[in-house]
Amino acid sequence: MNDTPEPQLKPLSHGTVGSGHHSPRESGGLTSKLVLASAVVMACMGGAYWQNTAHGGVTAARAPQASTSSLDREPQIRADARHLGAQFALIAPGQAPSALAHSGFDTQQRANILAAVKNRRMRLVRMPIAQIAGLPGQSIAITSGGLTQRLTLKPELQAVVLPIYLAGEVTISPLTQPPAGGLETGILTALGAQVLPTLASLDQQIVLDVIVQ
């Protein structure tokens, strides 16, 4: 395993996140957990990770609550939202039922999503996400494909199943008041681990412009 180089957290470009500064404790401690988790997943599990996250270094998000929004409803994007690109690996259509079974979507939502996947209006991806700074147990709302899932963050990566349109946007918003210093999260993309902009207040929003591989 030591022969495989660790993926590095990618610094955000100037202007994507306020000052982009991190304290030594954050950079050397909490952030390193995401790097380590990424290295374990990519080196030990390889492609099998994308097929089954429930039994590996990245856990499936345990039944995050999903709202009953319409699949055709677009999320409300704030004018001051922070945008960045992200690439995620595709969940094969044949694996969609199994992936959705580990999600927080109800029976009707799963049926609607599967129908959209079948007629190629929608695709499914997994987005592993972890909290890497801020008080533990913060909650966020993740909206994609017109549906919102509510997730309680952990220091470990949790894989969230996301329905994505061909040109997909995923919005991430805090549900609990971010602590002093802000809430910082990281995701594991198809290109490696990446730190997201810090959320400092309830009225902030991150928008991922998603490319599905």
pTM, whole model, 2 decimals?
0.69
Q: Where are the alpha helices (DSSP H) in the chain?
A: 24-25, 31-40, 48-51, 96-101, 107-118
| Residue 141 pLDDT | 95
Q: Which residue has the higher pLDDT, 18 or 2?
A: 2
| Residue 212 pLDDT | 83
Q: Whole domain around residue 123: which residue ranges? A: 24-212
Count: domains in the chain: 1
In a domain, 12, yes or no: no
In a domain, 1, yes or no: no
| Residue 47 pLDDT | 34
pLDDT digits (tens, 9 = 90+) for 19-31: 444 444 544 555 5
In a domain, 2, yes or no: no
In a domain, 160, yes or no: yes
CA distance 26 to 6: 18
Mean pLDDT (the chain, rounded):
75
| Residue 120 pLDDT | 92
**Nearest Cα to Cα of residue 169 among 121, 120, 207, 212:** 207
pLDDT digits (tens, 9 = 90+) for 32-82: 555 545 544 443 333 333 333 333 445 555 545 554 444 444 556 666 677
CA angle 171, 24, 204 (to 5 degrees): 20
pLDDT digits (tens, 9 = 90+) for 140-174: 999 999 999 999 999 999 999 999 987 689 999 99
Give 7's pLDDT tier (boundaries 50, 70, 90).
Answer: very low
In a domain, 159, yes or no: yes
How large is the C-alpha radius of gyration of the chain? 16
In a domain, 9, yes or no: no
pLDDT digits (tens, 9 = 90+) for 90-145: 999 999 999 999 898 999 999 999 999 999 999 999 999 999 988 888 999 999 99
CB 190 within 8 A of CB 167: no
In a domain, 6, yes or no: no
In a domain, 203, yes or no: yes
DSSP letter for 93, please.
G
| Residue 15 pLDDT | 36
